[in-house]
Amino acid sequence: MTISDHRAAQLATRLAFFVAGFGIACWAPLVPFAKQRLGVDDATLGLLLLSLGVGSVASMLAAGLLSARYGSKPVVIVSGLALSVLLPPLVIATTPVTLALALFAFGAALGSLDVAVHIQAIEVERLSARPLMSGFHAQFSIGGFAGSGVMTALLAFEIAPLPGTLACCAIALAAMIIAIPRLIAGKPAESGPLLVLPHGAVLLLAALAAIMFLVEGAMLDWSALLLTASGRLPAAQAGLGYIMFSIAMTIGRLAGDVVVARIGDRATLLWGSVMAITGFVVLLAVPSVVSAMTGFALIGLGASNLVPVLFRRAGAQTVMPVGLAVAAVTTAGYSGVLLGPAGIGFVAAATSLSTAFWLLAALLVVVLASAPLVATAPR
């Protein structure tokens, strides 16, 4: 590949990551409208929202198999286009059953895209011979900011949800149209059987991914409640904690490729874990607003490049096909997002929310201790 081909492939991969973040973020501001339209209670809404996660997890193994067999490009194309066009059905579903089906399909497209675009990213990074994964993940975060911002702005200007989703659908489709001809078409070089249970280094990577996604999910679902329960901020301002975390994570990922190229995967895992653990200590041990914002920033910066490193190592191992390895790591991560926040709730109910957050810091110690194993895993 020429230098221009490399750059084109990097652009296409960034756009695909952007579409994934943009699509899921467009749905978030529409949840209250769905609840009002269907007239359901919180319990029913929770079950409906679970359909999205179930669809995502259910599609991941299939995406890994298809990418291992045919390459990641066709899976990225189909799932990216599907994610774009499945936004409008989410706002026209008029019964719980139809919304559950729409969310399942939307989640399946998101899960497939998540697996395939990571495989595409591993291929592009390998051909470019330099770290790129953190920058790709940053585009997912930027897509999230853009999706939630655009949809919220449209709704604030009293544009109905359906025209709003059509506008967001057009943005996502435009990004995919630009990306499609620039994606790498080559078939991955896979050896061995395609149906392999996660084992060895992949099992470790999957477990660590579950921990990291659990931490990110806890920041989203519980950070505001932690600030209000401790009396540091009123409910109207409690979202500042997650905003600080998100901004710090995005900044860390934008700079992450340079950092990883300089210090390597092992040091990135070690020092990133140390920074994130320090952030939890500052957040929980010092009862002030300044310490809380500092803690969230440190957690975001520290955690920002840990997941990209895990995916890079999944692409570097040779104990199982790369497509299935990435699918296993992605599925484990999503399981952490789906089940982790509920687990935090159970721990908080039995003890306290602060204790639950201390438990997250303890889990990061596991990531810290595993850094040498991850960096020296068979390749």
Tell me: the pLDDT tens digits for 166-213?
999 999 999 999 999 999 886 555 455 555 666 778 889 999 999 998
pLDDT at 215 over 60: yes
pLDDT of residue 315: 82
CA neighbor of 310 nearest in space, from 278, 269, 340: 269
Q: How far apart are the first and last CA of the chain?
A: 24
pLDDT reported for residue 333: 85
Structure confidence by residue, pLDDT tens digits, 105-137: 999 999 999 989 988 998 898 888 888 999 998
Distance CA 338, CA 369 (A): 25
Q: Which amino acid is at 345?
A: G
The rounded distance, in Å, linking the Cα atoms of 362 and 313 is: 23
pLDDT tens digits, 315-366: 888 778 787 888 888 888 878 877 777 788 888 888 888 999 999 999 999 9
Instruction: Say what the pLDDT of residue 22 is.
Output: 92
Cα separation of 38 and 41, whole Å?
9
Of the candidates 346, 326, 373, 308, the one whose C-alpha atom is nearest the C-alpha of residue 131 is 308
Read off the pTM: 0.81
